[in-house]
Structure 1
C-alpha cells in the first residue's frame, strides 16, 4: 500500500479544510459571470428554458443561472421546448454534466416508452449568467 508523506498529507488536509470552510478555490472562481463549469447539481435545478436548437438555460436555487450550448443543433429541441415533445436527460450521478445526453422525445409519435431511441445530443459546458434578481421581502 502506498504511503503519503507527512507534508503531502498536511497539504491535502489543508485543501480539504479550505473547501469545507469556503476557502478560495477553483469552484469559487467559476462563479463569475462568463466562466464555465463542467457540471451543475441536478437537485438544485428549478427551471430550464430552451433558447434555440442548440442552447438551453438553467436556473438553480438561489437565482444562479447557467447557459449550456450543445456542440451542434439538436433536431427537435426548439419544438420540445415549446411543448411539442419532451426533454429527458441521461445523467450519471447527482449532477448534470458536460457530455451527459439530452434526449428529445417526440410525444406526438408515442415514443415516450423508449427514451433510449430518442434523438440524443451531448451537453456542453455550463456558462455562468448574471443571477436573476429575487424579489425582496
Structure 2
C-alpha cells in the first residue's frame, strides 16, 4: 500500500510535465504562425544595430525572445533578443528606454503585464533584421 501512495505523486508530477511541454509546444507553434503571418513572403536582409523609432507603428511581441516592428513603409524589422526575456509575451507592454531617435542593439526595456503596475527586470534588444518584399 505504501508503494502505491508513493507512486501517485510521481504519476501526477509526470502528468504535469506532459501538460507543460504540450502547452510550450502549442505556444511555440502559435508564435511561429504569428511570425510567418507578419513576415509573409518578405526576404531577410543584413542585420543592423539600430532602427529609426519613427519608421514603425510599434512593437508586436511574438514570444519571449522575438519582437517585430511593423513598417510605416515597406520594411518589417525583426529583433531576436540575445537571451529570452521573462514575462515577454503577446499583449504585454514594453517600456523602452529610447536615447535619441533610434532604437539600438543593447538598448534596455522592461515588460509590464496587463493589470500590473510593477515592470519586469531589464531585457536588451538584439540586432534588427530587415525583411522586405522581393522585387
Q: TM-score range by the shorter chain?
A: 0.5 to 0.7
Q: Which of 68, 81, 95 is equivalent to 1:70?
A: 81
* Cα-to-partner distance string for 1:18-63 (whole Å, 9 max, x where unaligned): xxxxxxxxxxxxxx83311111101111132111110001122212
Q: Which of 42, 55, 64 is equivalent to 1:53?
A: 64
Q: Distance in 2 between matches of 1:107 and 1:57?
A: 20
User: Unpaired runs of 5+ in structure 1?
Assistant: 1-31, 112-116, 133-137
User: Unpaired runs of 5+ in structure 2?
Assistant: 1-42
1:86 counterpart = 2:93: yes
Q: How many residues align?
A: 93
Q: Distance in 2 between matches of 1:107 and 1:129?
A: 30
1:103 counterpart = 2:130: no
**Would you identify which runs of 4 or more consecutive aligned residues in structure 1 move more than 3 Å?**
none
Q: Distance in 1 between matches of 2:73 and 2:111?
A: 28
Q: Distance in 2 between matches of 1:60 and 1:46?
A: 7
SS of residue paired to 1:109: coil
Preserved CA contact (<8 Å) 1:48 1:59:
yes
Normalised to the residue count of structure 2, the TM-score between the two structures is 0.60
Preserved CA contact (<8 Å) 2:87 2:120:
no
